[in-house]
Amino acid sequence: MNDLMGKHIVLGLSGGIACYKSAELCRALIKEGATVQVVMTEAAEHFITPVTMQALSGRSVYGSQWDAREPNNMPHINLSREADAILVAPCSADFMAKLLHGGADELLSLMCLARPIDRVPLLLAPAMNREMWAHPATQRNMAQLQQDGAAILGVGSGDQACGETGDGRMLEPEQLLEDLVAFFQPKLLAGKRVLVTAGPTFEAIDPVRGITNLSSGKMGFAIARAAREAGAQVTLVAGPVALATPRGVDRINVRSALQMLAACEAQAPRADIFVATAAVADWRAADASEQKIKKDGSGLVPQLRFTENPDILHTLAQGERARNGALFCVGFAAESHDLLANAQAKRARKGVPLLVGNIGPATFGLDDNQLLLVDAQGSRELPRASKQVLGRQLIAEIARRLGRHE
């Protein structure tokens, strides 16, 4: 997908054992389409060599403000002016303190200070011992750096090189990559709260069997990630799927349609947008058995009775907040045939302003999709693309309908 195509990232390394993660981060940035210029402090070179980072980035590594390769002897000016962003990963406690006070006694801090602050963002990925992270001085420094315009990407929690366990680990390369990609996305839904459902539901027949479908949840997870990238606060109500939660998204796991309805009704009063992507089972067993239903050798088939599940989208779309315009509802229709006709009928039946249709068997479990947007004025196709690209296009479409533009 190459989300960073055309972006030039200056990757700064300050001293810390987490420098070993910076090698993989550099690879990930380049794989995503970015060009990467590595700048290292002297302390960083005690943990990983410039040769390693040069091999991974395909560019000579800079470490001195007196580097003679620059004709004007001003690498702090030249490198910062070329960047679309400066990402310091790892960013040690010492380097955070230096940035806070405008220290500039080596190239990386000098470059951060000299960058055009209005067009070259500074992103920091802290990495330090848990006590250093929790220290009031570090927390004060972090708060002031954020106030000064730097973006703090947070820390992970777990085992640390010192043998202790807690907060302060540098985020994993894939997490930092996701955060950087999100940083560059337009914040079309800043300040909005988005509620998304995703995946199938599972309706138990007995403790080991049930009714479900082939939905993987990938489309709903992509929409949740896209909404978070657009600046929204996102809650994802997920059926039983084995997908990682998008960064910055609050996740509520459910199994059945009744559980999904309860979760959505609890979250809806605080939501501005509801996107019902989940493939909810239409029916459930009227009397689920508490024990496994076994064959008895008679050849007789157990008689199962079914009852209709509640319509989650219709329930929320007919609520007071949706009717007075406070909750914008978007439905999904996974059809097997006659997509346009079925999607139009479903939109009218559900009473929603926008319904998104797709052919379920042609997309379940895949990483790409093709969508049909249906509203009162007609329909429009979103051509086949990755689900993440389509998720961003749908979020942009929702933002446009809410009067929010870049």
Catalytic positions, written as ranges = 162
**What single DSSP character describes residue 304?**
-
Phi and psi angles of residue 91, each rounded to the nearest 5 degrees, phi first? -115, 110
Cis upstream peptide for 200 (omega within 30°): no
Helix (H) or strand (E) holding 359: strand 354-359
Phi and psi angles of residue 15, each rounded to the nearest 5 degrees, phi first? -70, 125
Tokens of 275: 């996107």
- Which phi-psi region, left, alpha or beta, contains residue 296 (left: φ > 0; alpha: ψ -120 to 50)? alpha
Is residue 375 exposed (0-12), middle (13-18) or buried (19+ Cβ within 10 Å)? middle
Residue 286: other Cβ atoms inside 10 A: 10
List, as one string, the DSSP characters of 94-158.
Answer: HHHHHHHTT--SSHHHHHHHHS-TTTS-EEEEE---HHHHHSHHHHHHHHHHHHTTPEE---EEE
Question: Cα 384 to chain center, whole Å?
Answer: 21
Is residue 20 exposed (0-12), middle (13-18) or buried (19+ Cβ within 10 Å)? middle
